[in-house]
Amino acid sequence: MQLTPRLIALLTVPPCLWAGNAVAGRMLVPLVPPLLLNALRWGGALLLLLLLGRAVLATAESRAAILARWRYFAVLGALGVGAYNALQYLALTTSTPINVTLIAASMPLWMLGVGALFFGERPRTQQMLGAALSLAGVATVLSRGHPTALAQVQFVQGDLFMLAAAASWAGYSWLLVRPPASMQADRRPTLAQTGGPARPWNWAEFLLVQALFGIVWAGGAAGLEAVVAPRAPQWTPLVAILLVYIVVGPSLLAYWFWGRAVALAGPTTAGMFSNLTPLFAALMSTVLIGETPQTYHALAFALIVAGIVVSSKR
């Protein structure tokens, strides 16, 4: 597939939006409790998705199809909506957007681990080598550029939260590509069309169903946070602007752009572009919040990208 300017733009916008989510989260978590922030993000996204994908709830047949698969959607909602971004916002209370996005960029490592442990997917030798390089990149971030002192390093709590978030997203991704039989082939739920054959759910409808289940997890976590660690949010114009951004940008637009880009370029090429996220996060952090990248960030970025290039070569 030739990389045209349009395709490059499609592949570049999502990493930019994801980097913006990390920076916006870093700016928001001192003002809004992190689990409440996640619930607000997905509550806002749910309202927009109800406009875009409401057809999936319009008929009794569609609602029955959702209820028949509720276990699958409950787990998807827990991992993708309830856990991943909640853990990311928790991470940003003590870690930096650059660290968070670098750890997230090691996602192929966690994909291999989850695939081997839970889905019987044996990694190839090249994938293991790539995972080792990515792991070296993560170790560089965690040790703040002093790998020899890794055994004595005092881990920042946020980095550990982000490791848990990466594992959560890996599980979510595997459930998307290895769904239960009720979500495969001719057993997948469809929507009837007037004067035409039934069609599969589109991206907004599928995300809406996940968000409906996920908001239960996100709201429950926010309620628990209010009891265990009560903190009143500070409502300011900046908070409102940033909330609108994380609802519209990373939650919806990035998802739509990414789906189009992967369909056109393929997952391997798209995966290379996804690793622009730490670079964008470093630039945004420097400009917006004054967190200057360090030399070890560049080394970690190079190791993680090298690991993904090696693991994806055939």
The vertex-69 CA angle with 65 and 72, nearest 5°, equals 145
13-26 burial, b at 16+ Cβ within 10 Å, e below that, comes to bbbbbbbbbbbbbb
User: In this structure, which amino acid lies at residue 161?
Assistant: F
* pLDDT greater at residue 256 or residue 126: 256
pLDDT in tens, 14-71: 889 998 999 999 999 999 999 999 999 999 999 999 999 999 999 999 999 999 999 9
Q: What is the pLDDT of residues 220-253, one digit of tens each?
A: 999 999 999 999 999 999 999 999 999 999 989 9
Predicted TM-score (pTM) of this structure: 0.85
Higher per-residue confidence, 233 vs 141: 233
Which pLDDT does position 291 carry in this prediction?
73
> Does residue 150 register a pLDDT over 60?
no
Average pLDDT, the chain: 85
The domain tally of the chain equals 1
What is the 8-class DSSP label of residue 252?
I
Q: If we measure between CA atoms, which residue out of 163, 155, 161, 38 comes closest to residue 107?
A: 163
Q: Which of 213, 176, 205 is nearest to 42 (CA)?
A: 213
Quick one: which of 303, 241, 296 has its CA closest to 96? 296
Give the residue-averaged pLDDT of 161-165. Answer: 92
Residue 299, domain extent: 5-312
Q: Which pLDDT does position 123 carry in this prediction?
A: 74
Distances (CA, A) of 149 to 6, 30, 142, 159, 305: 45, 31, 10, 17, 23
Q: What is the CA radius of gyration of the chain?
A: 20
DSSP string, 224-238: HHHHHS-------HH
**Other beta carbons less than 10 A from residue 99's beta carbon:** 28
Integer Cα distance of 10 and 275 in angstroms: 14
SS3 category, 48: helix
* 141 pLDDT higher than 90: no
pLDDT-derived band of residue 176, with 50, 70 and 90 as boundaries? confident
256 burial type by CB count under 10 A (0-12 exposed, 13-18 middle, 19+ buried)? middle
User: For strand 190-193 and strand 196-200, is the pairing parallel, antiparallel, or unpaired?
Assistant: antiparallel
Query: What is the C-alpha separation between 120 and 139, in angstroms, rounded?
Result: 26
Confidence bin at 142 (pLDDT 50/70/90) = low
pLDDT digits (tens, 9 = 90+) for 276-302: 787 788 888 887 888 777 777 787 778
Burial of 198 (C-beta count, 10 Å sphere; 0-12/13-18/19+): exposed
The structure tokens listed for 174 are 């595997």
